[in-house]
A and B are shown apart, each in its own frame.
Chain A
Amino acid sequence: MSGPLVLVFLSGLFIVISFFIPRDPFPKVELWALRWYYIVVGFALLLGVDSLVLHHLRRIRRGGMQAFYSAVLLIGFFVTLVWGIVAWKQFGSPFAPHSHFLWIFMNVEVPLEATMFSLLAFFIASAAYRAFRARSFESTLLLVSAGLVMLGRVPLGQYVAVPLLSAFGVLLAFELYHRPVRTPLDRVLYRGGPVLVLLFSGILVLPAVFPQLAARIPGVASWILTVPQVAGKRGIEFGLALGGLAFGYRILFGMERGYLR
């Protein structure tokens, strides 16, 4: 074992031991190490600033449209830095009320972040369109369960669920019926499937006649979220826990060195 690997082993083992021994010196040394970690992270930010400034200076030297964006970035960076230092000297903290730094933060940084976050709605819509296309049995199942969950989670859902799902059922039956039949399995799926879907759509009309059944749609949505969804998620989480543990063992015993130079 080389020097860095010995250090990794000893420090990793210390953390594992301190997890089980709540008595000093273990918690104290752990806290000391934690403080040192934050000190290292703080100083490492200087490396980041160095990389950021040099990267954009090189791009400005190269010229072109990207040089303009890099110039905007560097001006923004230095203006914010200077105002931060000024506010620190004036008010004792850059985030003090009435400081110019706080004004920049609240009126530039926060709206920009909020804008990016808001764009997520459109990205979700386009990804959902791709994921929910009924190309296979699995994606159809996903589409139906997602539709039920969406209808069950909004107050208006239980009123519009019946006509929407019935109409969806008719469209799905039509789509399946027009698929080319190449194998005996296709015959079962694309000829028997539409009949089943139409029957299901017909059953769905019943809640329109008996409104108390429509009121159960939020319950169905909750069941999907708390039973099959959680079961799938926990399966993945078990795998992750074991995978993480094996990865940790490999690091601890020096078998995993990909992260080292």
Chain B
Amino acid sequence: MVAFSLWMALLMAAPRMDLQHTEGGVNVQISGIPVDSSWSLLRVVGTDTTSLGTLTVPETSFVDTTLPDTGTVTYLLRRPDGTYAAQAGLRLETAPPSESGEGETPAPPGWFNTDRAPILIFLILFGIAFFLFVQWTRAGRPIFIRKIAGLEALDDAVGRSTEMGRPILYVPGMTDLDTLPTLSALSILKYVTKKSAEYATPMLVPLREPLVMAAAQEIMKEAYLEAGRPDLYEEDRVYFTTVQQFGYASTVAGTMMREKPGAIFLMGYYYAESLIMAETGNTVGAIQVAGTPAVDQLPFFIAACDYTLIGEEFYAASAYLSQRPEELATLKAEDIFKALFVGMIALGSLLTSLGIPFLSKLLEVH
């Protein structure tokens, strides 16, 4: 079931937009947005941004008829929380294909979307660095990875909860199994479950998505088995609550107040409910470790939690915790590219300031 769910989850790509330029305007087709939320569509022409309205499933298409004659038009898909999920653009330099032309067959799209060439080049370069570092460690050469305080604190948090005789509460975020933050949160869940099994400390995992629940139950069962304590696993402690955002937040906050956990792990993607959970956890005196790729929620976690995994630290968690040289090597590739990015930003800023927009044009993605 888990394998099948994960297969389906990986098949599900991030929200995306497809544009079709017709005589009547630009037809914007949107796929991969959740059923229960309203997403906004914006159009950017030059420096002007126009809101084209709100889309709610099943209404996932929009025809833009108020277009300029020429120039680059970019469409942005905005999530209900204000962050951007997808963008697509096109150049209006040629007349749109005629719809009334008799006997004309519209040319099929090409075999390669050239607008996305910079992304492909970047993916290939990153892949090369990725495998070079994996080979590097396979050859037995050492690599240095800095200590990540938030991940070092995982063991301490489990230990403290055990000493206090209180359960551990693990929240794997708000998103479904088709997102990277949830997959990363599930990887950390396995590590924390193993530790808690070693110390025989009970773990509570309230969940918002049924697919995540099915995966979490299997992962925890396996972790207890690997720790040699399959008898400690109780399915009743990994349970579904509700899919409603604030309903889930109140369930988690209520569990914190009733069960008084000694350690709370808030891992995964969060929206506005992040502070309700983190502050309640702070009130009950639990040691809290949080990790999220939601940049807007990071300040709340930093203010209310003892340790916070910031930025890529969250995605590095499983590699860091496994301490397998091959996985650690992939973190080194990230570092190299980060240095490359810094250099390109500096060079791009300098060149653009000197009136040479070569680098910024080269990296432009439509």
Residues of A within 8 A of B (CB): 3-4, 7-8, 11-12, 14-16, 18-24, 27, 30-31, 33-34, 36-38, 40-41, 44-49, 51-52, 54-55, 58, 66, 109, 112-113, 116-117, 119-120, 123-124, 126-128, 130-131, 233, 235-240, 242-251, 255-256, 258-261
Contacts and interface: CB of A to CB of B under 8 A. Distances in A.
A258 B214 contact: no
A58 B180 CA distance: 33
Given A113-B245, A249-B130, A261-B222, A47 B187 contact: no
Interface stretch (B63-71, B154-162, B314-322): B314-322
Contacts of B276: 116, 119-120, 123
25 contacts: A4-B3, A20-B120, A23-B108, A38-B35, A41-B210, A48-B210, A48-B213, A48-B240, A51-B213, A123-B276, A126-B279, A127-B278, A236-B310, A237-B311, A239-B312, A240-B312, A243-B311, A247-B315, A249-B330, A251-B10, A256-B187, A256-B319, A258-B322, A259-B187, A261-B221
A112 B247 contact: yes
Given A116-B250, A237-B295, A239-B311, A4 B337 contact: no
Nearest to A247: B315
A202 to B, nearest CB: 31
A247 B213 contact: no
B331 interface: yes
Interface stretch (B38-46, B91-99, B110-118, B350-358): B110-118
B319 A37 contact: no
Given A37-B12, A246-B130, A260-B2, A47 B214 contact: yes
B31 A21 contact: no
A242 B10 contact: no
B10 A8 contact: yes
Contact of B236 (A31, A49, A58, A244): A58
B338 to A, nearest CB: 6
Interface of B: 2-13, 18, 31-32, 35, 108-113, 116, 119-120, 123, 126-127, 130, 176, 178, 180, 183-184, 186-188, 190-191, 209-211, 213-215, 218-219, 221-222, 236, 239-247, 249-250, 258, 272-273, 275-276, 278-279, 293, 295, 298-300, 302-304, 310-316, 318-319, 322, 326-327, 330-331, 333-334, 337-338, 341
Nearest to B122: A245
A156 B184 CA distance: 45
A3 B12 CA distance: 19
Contacts of A247: 180, 183-184, 315, 318
Contact of B319 (A31, A46, A47, A250): A250
A150 to B, nearest CB: 14
Given A244-B315, A259-B186, A127 B275 contact: yes
**4 nearest CB pairs, A to B:** A243-B312, A258-B187, A48-B210, A243-B315
Contact of A259 (B210, B215, B322): B215
Contacts, number: 235
Nearest to A118: B246
A114 to B, nearest CB: 8
Contacts of A117: 246, 272
Contact of A123 (B218, B243, B275, B327): B275
A167 B188 CA distance: 47
B246 A7 contact: no
B268 to A, nearest CB: 12
A260 B6 contact: yes
A44 B210 contact: yes
A44 B302 contact: no
Given A19-B13, A44-B210, A246 B333 contact: yes
A249 B330 CA distance: 9
Contacts of A259: 6, 183, 186-187, 190, 215, 219
Contact of A127 (B3, B123, B184, B279): B279
B327 A256 contact: yes
A44 B211 contact: yes
Contact of B113 (A22, A24, A120, A261): A22
Given A19-B13, A24-B108, A117-B272, 8 more contacts: A38-B35, A44-B5, A113-B247, A236-B311, A246-B126, A246-B130, A251-B183, A260-B3
